[in-house]
Structure 1
Amino acid sequence: RVDPPAAAPSPATAPAAPDAADAGPAHAVAPAHAEVAPIAPAEVQPVPDTHTRPPPAPDPAPVGMDCGVALGGLDSSGSLPRSSIQRALARVEDDVADCYRAGAEAVGHGLAGVVPVALTIDVDGRARNVTAGPFGLPGVSACVERAYARVRTLDRPDTGTVRASFSVHFKPRSP
Structure 2
Amino acid sequence: IARKYGICCEEREGKKVYLGSIPETIQIKDQERSIRKVFKVTERTISRDGQIFLIPEYEFETYWTDLEVPSHVVISLYHNHGTCEQFHSEIKSELDLERLPSGKYETNGLVLHFGVFAYNLLRLIGQESLKKQDTPLKKKTTRRSIRTVIQNMITLASKLVFRGRQWKLKVAETNKWLPVFTRLYQAFY
Superposed pair shares fold, TM > 0.5: no
* TM bucket, shorter chain: under 0.3
Which has the larger Rg? 1
* TM-score normalized by the length of structure 1: 0.22
* Bigger fraction of residues in helix: 2
Q: Greater relative contact order: 1 or 2 (C-alpha under 8 angstroms, separation 6 or more)?
A: 1
* TM-score normalized by the length of structure 2: 0.21
